[in-house]
């Protein structure tokens, strides 16, 4: 059995590795260099505080891998379980957090609902007067996306995966008659395959269209900056999010912080090849000013050291598409900012769908593409 995986980001490489470890012949086609898309521009967040059960279960399955990553892959990804702290300014948001915590607790996530003063004990730099409630889970955290990607790339290559960089897929080959996907076209010639995996991130809609499939996955540009704050951010602080403004920060090393927020709109017509990968300094000034209103670390003497922009691949409900979309075409895309953290579980699920015909790790029925526009569509709050 040969499988072609389209996309050399962490979702594609995790899928390729899991397939290769099941004895499958795998070729990864990456149009640029490994991780050149969204992975290396990720904030690296890893959390189980989601509002939908499927995402919680994907997180728990993935965290089991993240916690043992160094032992399995021989790579220290600087995985820090500092926790996530979500802050609510309104009663409506607080009620949604309370409901989410109940669901998370039922699945074994040690999240808790906090009063604002208790939240300040988790993160001393917040202004509790701005908020009415918070949630915190000590098992959430973050890791280094670059190191994680390299760990997966090495493991996949060692397992026999043929990783072809600078190899764009120019078309998907379908059988006459039933339309089953049976391979791909590349500049170096066709590649036959029993399955093709669309793990192309922001390019996933373009790839699906090659098989005459319209997936509602759109690129959304998002930015982040590394800041030398006025007051050093303790390395033990959680990744902290003001849900109403969308701004967040997490500690870097030496008192610095990674700061982001104020996401742009998803644009199905955006060219994922041509977006600006630098930061807008007007945006940076605005996001720092907003953060300074609720976090005391970011006063007027804070200094931006560097920054970058990347692309989310988002769906209308900010949940992934994970399914066999048409016979022979597996979609693992549209994670809406959750792809990095959910890659370990996603890779195993892709392998199960191909080898076993169904997923035993997580029931991914809620992530089928036929949910859009129906009562089965459940919106997940799009945060880092």
75-79, 277-281, 325-329, 356-360: least confident range: 277-281
Among the CATH numbers 3.30.9.10, 3.40.640.10, 3.40.50.10140, 3.40.50.10330, which is that of 218-314?
3.30.9.10
Please, what is the Cα angle at 34 between 283 and 14, to 5 degrees? 105
**Among positive and negative, which fits the CA dihedral 246, 242, 62, 35?**
positive
Residue 373: predicted pLDDT = 81
Counting runs of H as helices and runs of E as strands, what totals does the chain give?
Answer: 9, 19
pLDDT at 275: 80
313 pLDDT band, cuts 50/70/90, is very high
Decide if pLDDT at 136 tops 70.
yes
Which among 170, 173, 169 is positioned nearest to 183, based on CA atoms? 173
Fold category of 2-64+145-217+316-371 in CATH? FAD/NAD(P)-binding domain (3.50.50)
Looking at the predicted structure, is the pLDDT value of residue 327 above 70?
yes
- Please choose, from the candidates 85, 83, 90, 80, the residue with its C-alpha nearest in 3D space to the C-alpha of residue 126: 85
Tell me the pLDDT tens digit for each residue of 72-82.
Answer: 999 999 999 99
Under 8 Å between Cβ of 117 and 81: no
For residue 27, the cross-strand partners are: 4, 162
Sequence ranges of the domains in the chain: 2-64+145-217+316-371, 84-138, 218-314
Predicted pLDDT of residue 235: 96
Query: To the nearest whole percent, how much of the chain has pLDDT over 70?
Result: 97
Average pLDDT of the residues in 116-140: 98
| DSSP state, residue 206 | H
What is the band of 179 on the pLDDT scale with cuts at 50, 70, 90? confident
Tokens standing for residue 41: 């521009």
Q: Alpha helix (H) ranges present in the chain?
A: 10-20, 53-66, 69-73, 91-106, 116-122, 145-158, 204-209, 281-294, 339-355
What is the per-residue pLDDT across 255-311, written as a single tens digit (0 to 9) for each? 999 999 876 677 777 788 878 888 898 999 999 999 999 999 999 999 999 999 999
219-266 pLDDT tens trace? 999 999 999 999 999 999 999 999 999 999 999 999 999 999 876 677
């Amino acid at each position: 059995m040969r499988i072609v995986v389209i996309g050399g980001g962490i979702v594609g490489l995790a899928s390729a590795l899991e397939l290769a470890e099941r004895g499958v012949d795998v070729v990864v086609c990456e149009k640029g260099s490994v991780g050149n898309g969204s992975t290396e521009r990720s904030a690296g967040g890893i959390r189980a505080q989601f509002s939908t059960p499927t995402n919680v279960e994907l997180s728990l399955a993935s965290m089991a891998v993240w916690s043992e990553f160094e032992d399995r892959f021989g790579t220290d990804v600087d995985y820090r379980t500092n926790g996530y702290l979500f802050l609510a300014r309104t009663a409506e948001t607080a009620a949604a957090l309370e409901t989410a915590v109940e669901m998370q607790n039922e699945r074994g996530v040690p999240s808790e609902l906090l009063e604002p003063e208790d939240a300040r004990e988790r993160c001393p730099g917040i202004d509790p007067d701005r908020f009415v409630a918070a949630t915190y889970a000590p098992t959430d955290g973050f890791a280094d996306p670059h190191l994680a990607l390299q760990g997966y790339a090495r493991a996949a290559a060692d397992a026999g995966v043929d990783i072809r960089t600078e190899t764009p897929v120019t078309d998907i080959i379908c059988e006459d008659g039933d339309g089953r996907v049976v391979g791909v076209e590349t500049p170096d010639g066709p590649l036959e395959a029993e399955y093709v995996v669309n793990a192309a991130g922001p390019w996933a809609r373009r790839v699906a269209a090659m098989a005459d499939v319209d997936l509602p996955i759109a690129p959304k540009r998002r930015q982040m900056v590394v800041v030398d704050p006025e007051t050093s951010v303790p390395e033990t602080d959680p990744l902290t999010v003001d849900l109403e403004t969308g701004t967040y920060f997490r500690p870097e090393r030496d008192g610095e912080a990674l700061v982001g927020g104020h996401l742009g709109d998803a644009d199905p017509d955006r060219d994922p090849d041509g977006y600006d990968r630098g930061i807008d300094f007007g945006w940076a000034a605005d996001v720092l000013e907003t953060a300074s209103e609720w976090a005391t670390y970011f006063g007027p003497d804070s200094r931006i050291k560097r920054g970058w922009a990347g692309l989310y691949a988002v769906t209308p409900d900010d949940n992934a598409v994970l399914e066999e979309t048409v016979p022979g075409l597996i979609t693992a895309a549209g994670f809406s900012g959750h792809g990095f953290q959910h890659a370990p579980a996603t890779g195993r699920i892709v392998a199960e769908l191909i080898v076993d015909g169904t997923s035993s790790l997580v029931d991914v029925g809620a992530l089928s593409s036929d949910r859009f526009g129906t009562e089965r569509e459940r919106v997940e709050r799009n945060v880092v």
